[in-house]
Amino acid sequence: MTDEPSETADSDDSDSDGDSDGLTLAQFHEASQREGRPVLTAGAVARTLERSHDAVSEQLDRLAERGDLERLSVSTDPVVWYPSELEDLTDKERVVVFPKRREIVVDRPDQFTRAQLAQFAHLEDGNGEQGYRYVVRPEDIWQAPHDSFEALARTMRQALGQRNEQLEEWVESQWDRAHQFRLYTHEDGYTVLEAKSPEVMGNIARQKLDEEHVHAPISETEDWVREGSEAAIKRVLYEAGYPVQDHRDLESGEDLEIDLEVTLRDYQQTWVDRFAEAGEGVFVGPPGSGKTVAAMGAMAHVGGETLVLVPSRDLARQWADTIQEYTSLGPHQIGQYHGGQKNVRPVTIATYQIAGMDRHRSLFDDREWGLVVFDECQHVPSDVYRRSTHLQSRHRLGLSASPIREDDRQKEIFTLVGPPIGTDWQALFDAGFVAEPELEIRYVPWGDDEQRNAYVSAEGREKYRIAAENRGKVDEIRYLLSAHPDSKALVFVDYLEQGRELSDALDAPFISGETRHHERRRLFDEFRRNERDLLVISRVGDEGIDLPTADLAIVASGLGGSRRQGTQRAGRTMRPAGGALVYVLATRGTREEDFARRQLQHLGRKGMTVREQTVERTEDESKRESEETAEDDSEDADGGDIVGERESEPEPER
């Protein structure tokens, strides 16, 4: 069980487990959590919940009569108590609800329970060995796939095995919030913001919005919306806690018959069904879960001309090949629009940078798209990419393995594109659709005293860079590669100089933003065809690059990056084939240790196993490393590299 902080002794976490003024089974579970054992004496329960011993004894008897608890006499105490379900704990799930925190903790949930929970709750901690902890957030209720609150309440009761009035009351309030505002198209062609009541319009919308958003009131519950401000209105009201229903009559574009030539997995079909019902959304799932194929299922459902926006031209080519492979569309129906080629066709894949440029924008504005797909949509809130969201279409779909941002603007993803739609990672691991990689943080000693001394005297980002480029990591990478001689490996770096040094030391190509696109593609293709088994990669490999056969990833630097970067790098090994390994190297005793733990912590909550290992060096090994480092220094003395040159984002399109 997850060790969660308990609520007060007066918590009424369950109305149905016992009398409202007595002891509930949920409170017994809470006491059990705090005591750290499933079997408790009456005295322990009374002490933990701060109640009288006599009152607790009487209430324990009552729960035993109901069949919720079992009693057992032992020599050290007259009676101990434990939940009846412990009689058959190996094959029985247990659900405990904490309504004040809006948390649900589940031991051994079956697939049905997890599918039901996914409809209204977010899996916050998926470590199956310690239970599953779900959090019910406002956005989970706002996007719940139900036509009425009554239908949602039935789903909740099926998942929880009981009715919890306190939690349901809060959920109903959030459901109501999600249905207070809508955008619709007036018969004269302009957009109207409508509120459910004059009070909501006056106290919320007209307090938050100004002349940049609306022209003037039409009635007590309606405002005339300025053209192009729809996305801003949705964002402002979403942040105020009132998501807007979008019922505009947007053009659906020319019809385009698309047949999917692959069978969707059950969870992918669920994603498509939920998208079809809402008309928009973001497919959220781990790398390797088939979000791209599911997006093609959405394209087939819409049956209209489609614009796909991607971060790089490499990913554009990959999309074009995949669409041709898995759908009935031919090459003449698929176009790419980026720095390499510029073709607009019924299905067009363009880069965000190009789509946001004024001189190219009219090409996309003038065409009526039935669907716009935002791949790697965690970028959408950024100033460079968000201009592409002004493109209007009847349907919008985002794809992301990690819709999180370090600037806390992730809510904008869902206001600009659509609500999250996904399946918890652990369910995909358990079902074998995605291989769960083993993650290990390895704390590596310094390779030489020179760098160690430089680190001590450095400040700020320079301190981080020195730790990241610790030459002791070179030998650790060699060791890991020799320990897995049959693996296809990727080594990730953040700094160009480090990438070049590793490339020379390992005799492997280094792919960065400086690598020409045709050369980049050639190396990736050779890796896919098993003609290469090792690549050193900069940030260009963090997103979108499809390396389906990689089964070993070594992160040499980049631990000061985002949680999203950690997810993407770990995700390079997440594919149906098992046995994937991810090693994250951090210089021992430096800030990298904290960065590594922080960056990978959220992956542990998603269900992955994260281990930690301190690397020790013998005296002979240390001496050999120093000699090798000295040789490397003499060879690189005339290299002329820029010290601390860090890989930037991919170069802008032209």
Rounded CA gap, 551 and 579, in Å? 7
Considering the domain architecture, whether residues 169 and 191 belong to the same structural domain is answered as no
pLDDT at residue 78, as a whole number: 59
In a domain, 19, yes or no: no
The predicted-structure confidence for 101-121, as pLDDT tens digits, reads as follows: 899 988 877 777 887 888 899
Considering the domain architecture, whether residues 103 and 194 belong to the same structural domain is answered as no
Lowest mean pLDDT among 316-330, 392-406, 426-440, 536-550: 536-550
Rounded CA gap, 83 and 63, in Å? 9
332 to 328, 335, 507, 528: CA distances (angstroms): 12, 8, 41, 26
Residue type, 2: T
pTM of the model as a whole: 0.59
Rounded CA gap, 355 and 374, in Å? 11
- Is the CA virtual torsion 476, 477, 480, 482 positive or negative? negative
Task: Give, for 401, the enclosing helix (H) or strand (E).
Answer: none
Residue 493 has pLDDT above 80, yes or no: yes
pLDDT at residue 650, as a whole number: 39
Residue 18 has pLDDT above 60, yes or no: no
pLDDT at residue 88, as a whole number: 53
Considering the domain architecture, whether residues 405 and 545 belong to the same structural domain is answered as no
Q: Which of 377, 402, 424 is the last residue of a domain?
A: 424
CB 495, CB 648: distance < 8 Å = no
Residue 200 has pLDDT above 90, yes or no: yes
Considering the domain architecture, whether residues 456 and 412 belong to the same structural domain is answered as no
Residue 476 has pLDDT above 80, yes or no: yes
b/e map 408-422, b = 16+ CB within 10 Å:
eebebbbbbbbbbbb
Considering the domain architecture, whether residues 464 and 580 belong to the same structural domain is answered as yes
In a domain, 330, yes or no: yes
Average the pLDDT over 8-17 and give the result: 37
Residue 621 has pLDDT above 60, yes or no: no
Name the more confident of 300 and 571.
300
12 CB burial (10 A radius; 0-12, 13-18, 19+): middle
In a domain, 40, yes or no: yes
pLDDT at residue 253, as a whole number: 67
Considering the domain architecture, whether residues 440 and 323 belong to the same structural domain is answered as no
Average the pLDDT over 559-583 and give the result: 53
CB 435, CB 579: distance < 8 Å = yes
Residue 560 has pLDDT above 60, yes or no: no
Q: Which domain holds residue 308?
A: 266-424
pLDDT-based confidence at residue 246 (cuts at 50, 70, 90): confident
- The overall average pLDDT reported for the chain is 78
In a domain, 644, yes or no: no
Angle between helices 449-457 and 460-468 (to 10 degrees): 160
pLDDT-based confidence at residue 400 (cuts at 50, 70, 90): confident
In a domain, 252, yes or no: no
pLDDT at residue 576, as a whole number: 44
In a domain, 261, yes or no: no
Considering the domain architecture, whether residues 465 and 497 belong to the same structural domain is answered as yes
Considering the domain architecture, whether residues 335 and 211 belong to the same structural domain is answered as no
Considering the domain architecture, whether residues 98 and 123 belong to the same structural domain is answered as yes
Q: What is the CATH number of the domain that holds 129?
A: 1.10.10.10
Lowest mean pLDDT among 375-379, 457-461, 643-647: 643-647
In a domain, 147, yes or no: yes
Lowest mean pLDDT among 22-26, 52-56, 125-129: 125-129
pLDDT at residue 475, as a whole number: 93
Considering the domain architecture, whether residues 417 and 290 belong to the same structural domain is answered as yes
pLDDT at residue 331, as a whole number: 93
Considering the domain architecture, whether residues 521 and 556 belong to the same structural domain is answered as yes
Residues constituting the chain: 654
